[in-house]
Structure 1
Amino acid sequence: MKLATRVAVSVTVVVPLLVLAAGLLLHGLVQRDLRRQQDARLQDRASAVLPDVRALLNADRNDRPKAEQNQQRKVLGGVMDAGIRVRNAQASVVLEGGPQPADAVRLPEQTPDGPVTVRAKGRAWRVLSVPVAGPAPGTLWLFAPASATDPQLAAVRRRVLLVAVLAAPVSGLVAYGLAGRATASVRRLSRRAAALDPAAGAAAFAPVPAGVAEVDELSASIAGLLARYDEQAARTAQALDTARSFSSAASHELRTPLMSMRTDLDVLAAHPDLPAEERAEVVQDLQSDHARLLELLTALRMLALGDLVDVSSFAPLDLCELVDSAVGEAARRHPEARLSAELPARLRLFGWEAGLRILLANVLANAVVHGRLPQEPPRITVRLRAENGSAVLTVDDAGPGVPPAERDAVFRRFHHRPGSPGSGLGLTLVAQQASLHHGTVTVEDAPDGTGARFTVTDVNPRALGITRLTLALSGAPEAELLRGSLFEPVGDATY
């Protein structure tokens, strides 16, 4: 059943019930008003005939029949259609006329609060009792049938029923028309959603204000749902691309060490009596190929991990602590290297801790391996500073540097400098993590003209219109980055 039909049926049922309920209330109010009018007429007639009733009782007491007859005619004429009964002090009925209950019915002696209801033989009467004071005391009763108002009440009931019967179809039709107009925006939204191409996604469903709050909320919810679907679809596609890239790279790059290992194993299997020196050389080759294989698999796994990281993995952290830890780890792994670090006291950001550790470890490892001259130990200088609302990390080495023609190529996957012992993925991981944190990485000549400088920096938050902590190396708002207490120098640390 359509919503407009449901509304029309509901209104068709509810409106007559409301009319009947209002009619019952109206019936009670009309009944009360009619009774008050009836009581007021009885009181008015009692006031009008009371002098004549006194004269009637005086005539009865003085035994004047003609005067008594004249007063009876006046009293009966004054009460008109009401019933009347007059009794003297000796409890004798002096006058009786008009509709009234039987003589055996007990009547109230006084009704100070106005007429009361007396029931006799299935009928109800409104009775007003008025004591008559004077030389000839007595009691005056006036009567009016309670059913005198029934015709008027019956007319009210008929009209209420007529209105209820007419209200059912009329209200149903009106409600159907209004509900149809009210749900028109919902039908339009339904047609738009039904005609939506699944491949188009959220871009093809821009919320159009309908002027109805509920419809606008539903439209915004649909747009949000499509946006989340697009995001999930993009993540799924990215995961598939990552899997394909991982599979392709692994099959290509792992073929050489695996074939080499297979050759060495075949040699060992075919020559069990191989001299010790040659056997040791083959085993050393196997160990070298195994290490390269492990390095490749680790780097590929890190690349895949970076491609699939979720925003929930990002959290506030201190970049100074990460840089200090990474420099210390590099010094431990390469005791021959001379590493120094210039760090501020604190630099808060919003980032992925594991990814930043990967970035720092690889940029430092690249500097240690390649940033050296023959017969000299590596000399690495690491600096971290805040600059124009951004964090800037520089890594300077004293090696041969990177030729300008190769400065873009060094960040590509599996790019090898001749004679390089690495996997060709270290700087690729650095570029991936910098991009993941909305940052950039560049390479240029070192300031003293010897060696290379790798600079990792984030995009200025104001340039992106970002008002929250940015997914970048600095992440912190400019006001916090430029606060002096965060960047008080702590001196150079040499490892």
Structure 2
Amino acid sequence: MRLSTRIGLAVAVVVPLLVLGSGWIMVRLVGRDVHAAADAHLRERAAAVRPEALGLLRAMANDRPASVEQARQRKLFTAALDVGIRVTGSGGTVTGGPQPAASVTLPPAQDAARPVTVAAGPQSWRVLAVPLTAVRPAASGTLWLYATDTAGRRQIAHVRRRVLTVALLTAPVAGLAAWLAAVRLARPLLALQRRAVGIDPRTSAARLDHTRTGVPEVDGLARALRTVLARYDEQAARTAEALATARAFSSAASHELRTPLMSMRINLDVLDGDPAPEGAERAEVVADLRAGHERLLGLLVMLRTLAQGDLVEADAFVPVDLADLLDSAVRDLRRDHPDAPVTAHTTGPCVVRAWPQGLRSAVDNLLTNAVVHGAGPIEAALRADADGAAVRLTVGDHGPGVPPATRNSVFTRFQRRPDSPGSGLGLALVGQQAALHNGAVTVTDRPDGAPGAWFVLDIPRMARGPALPRRRDWLTADTAAPAAPQDFHKDRS
């Protein structure tokens, strides 16, 4: 059922109910007003005829001549005007004017001290009882006054019929008017519906084109639809990126693992050959196998970390003390490389909002790159900027350094020097993490002029998580293979 039809039916039901409800209240008020007017007239007549009624009561008690009683009765009836009169006392009962028959049972006098309604067949009366007491001679009785209530009942019944008639007539009229109004008012909603129906996020890049209508509900619905479509686009893009990352991971793994696996297969064939190698030759083959195994593990770890960086979401970023993270990385490096001359200097807590796993990988790869490819003491230092807006990590060594011509490509995938035991992914991971944290990483000469490389990683401090790049493709982006092996530092295995 259309919304306009629902509105029309609802109004067609509600409006008559409102008319009936208000009509019932009006009938009650009209009935109360009619009775109040009749009661006021009765009390007015009671006050006017009471002296005449007392005179008639005394004449009846003294057994005055009939002519005297008749004279008193005429005065009483004249004063009563259109109100029925009945005087009861010890001397008898005198009646005059319109009133119910004597057979109609009246309420007790004390109950009729305030006007009450008495039904007499098809007619009804408002009845008021006034006690009468005479001193000389001593006599008592009751003055009854009657006012017909039939006209008031007819008036109330007439009003009731009018209310019912109005309710019956307003049902279809109100329903039709509400339907027409709903159809007209729903035009912006129908226009929005027509525009939204033609949108298929799976097959078209077209999105909702909505012009503000001034109707808050319609404009709010359009904003909600735009938000839903934007979230759909975002999730679809993330899904596509996840698929591309999975494909790139598989492709890169199969390509990069082929050479070390073939080398390991050759070494295994050598060990299984006849005659089998012995002594120093066997030790050399086993060492080659272990190196190949280490390289395979390092490559898989790097590929996995790059893939995680491509798919990480903003809710993974939490407050991290980079000073504690650096101290932990240096301890692990000294355990893996006991002979490495590594020193670390920090100036106290340096809390940033970061992805802990990714930032730790970046620090590990900077330190390991310096150990594997550098020489002499390795210095790691951490300090906050003067304004406290960012944290800077520097890692320096005394090796051959990075030539200026290759410094722009050092953070791309699979770039390594000919004798590098690494996978060519370590510094690419550092670049990825710098971008994910809205920071920057650079490599320059040492500031003291000595030979060596100087890596600088800047991470801004943020109250909230960083604004992640819309496209993250460190693993999926196409990178042209270098024409020749690059003669500069590269990463851990």
**TM-score, normalised on structure 2?**
0.84
- The answer as to 2:251 corresponding to 1:248 is yes
Of 29-38 and 99-108, more deviation after overlay is shown by 99-108
CA deviation profile, 1:396-434 (whole Å, cap 9, x unmatched) = 111111111111121111112122222111111111111
Q: Supply the distance in 2 between the matched residues of 1:176 and 1:415 (Cα, whole angstroms).
A: 72
Tell me by how many angstroms 1:58 deviates.
Answer: 5.5
Q: Supply the distance in 2 between the matched residues of 1:237 and 1:448 (Cα, whole angstroms).
A: 47
Task: Provide closer, same or farther for how the CA distance between residues 385 and 205 of structure 1 changes in structure 2, counting only shifts above 3 A.
Answer: farther
Q: Secondary structure at the match of 1:63?
A: coil
Of 206-215 and 123-132, more deviation after overlay is shown by 206-215
Task: Provide closer, same or farther for how the CA distance between residues 114 and 285 of structure 1 changes in structure 2, counting only shifts above 3 A.
Answer: closer
Tell me by how many angstroms 1:74 deviates.
Answer: 4.0
- The answer as to 2:316 corresponding to 1:313 is yes
The match for 2:471 is none
Q: Secondary structure at the match of 2:298?
A: helix
1:468 to 461, 464, 468: 464
The match for 2:413 is 413
The match for 2:167 is 164
Tell me by how many angstroms 1:63 deviates.
Answer: 3.3
The match for 1:75 is 76
Letter of the structure 1 residue corresponding to residue 308 of structure 2: L
The match for 1:380 is 378
Of 290-299 and 75-84, more deviation after overlay is shown by 75-84
CA contact (8 A) 1:100 1:144 kept: no
Task: Provide closer, same or farther for how the CA distance between residues 28 and 471 of structure 1 changes in structure 2, counting only shifts above 3 A.
Answer: closer
Tell me by how many angstroms 1:353 deviates.
Answer: 0.9
Letter of the structure 2 residue corresponding to residue 25 of structure 1: I
Letter of the structure 2 residue corresponding to residue 308 of structure 1: L
Letter of the structure 1 residue corresponding to residue 362 of structure 2: L
- The answer as to 2:351 corresponding to 1:355 is no
The match for 2:38 is 38
Tell me by how many angstroms 1:119 deviates.
Answer: 5.0
Task: Provide closer, same or farther for how the CA distance between residues 125 and 176 of structure 1 changes in structure 2, counting only shifts above 3 A.
Answer: same
- The answer as to 2:302 corresponding to 1:331 is no
Q: Supply the distance in 2 between the matched residues of 1:362 and 1:194 (Cα, whole angstroms).
A: 52
CA contact (8 A) 1:399 1:452 kept: yes
Tell me by how many angstroms 1:251 deviates.
Answer: 1.9
CA deviation profile, 1:28-60 (whole Å, cap 9, x unmatched) = 221122112112222222333334434545555
CA deviation profile, 1:238-290 (whole Å, cap 9, x unmatched) = 11121122122122211111222222333344424445444443333333322
Letter of the structure 2 residue corresponding to residue 402 of structure 1: V
Task: Provide closer, same or farther for how the CA distance between residues 156 and 104 of structure 1 changes in structure 2, counting only shifts above 3 A.
Answer: closer
1:141 to 127, 141, 144: 144
Task: Provide closer, same or farther for how the CA distance between residues 407 and 21 of structure 1 changes in structure 2, counting only shifts above 3 A.
Answer: same
The match for 1:400 is 400
CA deviation profile, 1:359-392 (whole Å, cap 9, x unmatched) = 01101111112222xxxxx321111111241111
Tell me by how many angstroms 1:200 deviates.
Answer: 8.9
CA deviation profile, 1:70-114 (whole Å, cap 9, x unmatched) = 443443344344322223442x12444433231574564456743
Q: Supply the distance in 1 between the matched residues of 2:100 and 2:422 (Cα, whole angstroms).
A: 125
The match for 1:16 is 16
Task: Provide closer, same or farther for how the CA distance between residues 443 and 203 of structure 1 changes in structure 2, counting only shifts above 3 A.
Answer: farther
- The answer as to 2:437 corresponding to 1:437 is yes
Q: Secondary structure at the match of 1:93?
A: strand
CA contact (8 A) 1:85 1:141 kept: yes
Q: Supply the distance in 2 between the matched residues of 1:179 and 1:152 (Cα, whole angstroms).
A: 39
The match for 2:47 is 47
Q: Supply the distance in 2 between the matched residues of 1:98 and 1:309 (Cα, whole angstroms).
A: 99
Matches within 5 A, 1:47-446: 47-57=47-57, 61=62, 63-90=64-91, 92-102=92-102, 105=105, 108-109=108-109, 113-119=113-119, 124-134=124-134, 135=136, 137=139, 138-198=141-201, 204-205=207-208, 209-372=212-375, 378-387=376-385, 388=387, 389-446=389-446
Task: Provide closer, same or farther for how the CA distance between residues 160 and 471 of structure 1 changes in structure 2, counting only shifts above 3 A.
Answer: closer
Letter of the structure 1 residue corresponding to residue 337 of structure 2: H
The match for 1:29 is 29
Q: Secondary structure at the match of 1:254?
A: helix
Q: Supply the distance in 2 between the matched residues of 1:468 and 1:6 (Cα, whole angstroms).
A: 48
Tell me by how many angstroms 1:438 deviates.
Answer: 1.2
Q: Supply the distance in 2 between the matched residues of 1:189 and 1:311 (Cα, whole angstroms).
A: 33
Q: Secondary structure at the match of 1:401?
A: coil
Q: Supply the distance in 1 between the matched residues of 2:316 and 2:294 (Cα, whole angstroms).
A: 30
Q: Secondary structure at the match of 1:410?
A: coil
Q: Secondary structure at the match of 1:287?
A: helix
The alignment's C-alpha RMSD in Å is 2.9
The aligned length equals 461
Tell me by how many angstroms 1:178 deviates.
Answer: 3.5
Task: Provide closer, same or farther for how the CA distance between residues 284 and 132 of structure 1 changes in structure 2, counting only shifts above 3 A.
Answer: closer
Letter of the structure 2 residue corresponding to residue 380 of structure 1: I
Tell me by how many angstroms 1:443 deviates.
Answer: 0.9
The match for 1:484 is none
Q: Supply the distance in 1 between the matched residues of 2:147 and 2:221 (Cα, whole angstroms).
A: 67
Q: Supply the distance in 1 between the matched residues of 2:68 and 2:205 (Cα, whole angstroms).
A: 106
Task: Give the fraction of aligned pairs with identical amino acids, expressed as a percent.
Answer: 50
Q: Secondary structure at the match of 2:383?
A: strand
CA contact (8 A) 1:201 1:226 kept: no
CA contact (8 A) 1:202 1:230 kept: no
Tell me by how many angstroms 1:216 deviates.
Answer: 4.2
Q: Secondary structure at the match of 2:47?
A: helix
Q: Secondary structure at the match of 1:341?
A: strand
CA contact (8 A) 1:315 1:351 kept: yes
Q: Supply the distance in 2 between the matched residues of 1:267 and 1:37 (Cα, whole angstroms).
A: 126
Tell me by how many angstroms 1:67 deviates.
Answer: 4.4
Task: Provide closer, same or farther for how the CA distance between residues 349 and 86 of structure 1 changes in structure 2, counting only shifts above 3 A.
Answer: same
Tell me by how many angstroms 1:160 deviates.
Answer: 0.6
Q: Secondary structure at the match of 2:290?
A: helix
CA contact (8 A) 1:367 1:380 kept: yes
Q: Supply the distance in 1 between the matched residues of 2:284 and 2:110 (Cα, whole angstroms).
A: 137
Letter of the structure 2 residue corresponding to residue 455 of structure 1: V
Unaligned runs of 5+ in 2: 469-493
Tell me by how many angstroms 1:234 deviates.
Answer: 1.8
Letter of the structure 2 residue corresponding to residue 284 of structure 1: A
The match for 2:453 is 452
Letter of the structure 2 residue corresponding to residue 3 of structure 1: L
**TM-score, normalised on structure 1?**
0.84
Letter of the structure 2 residue corresponding to residue 26 of structure 1: M
Task: Provide closer, same or farther for how the CA distance between residues 220 and 470 of structure 1 changes in structure 2, counting only shifts above 3 A.
Answer: same
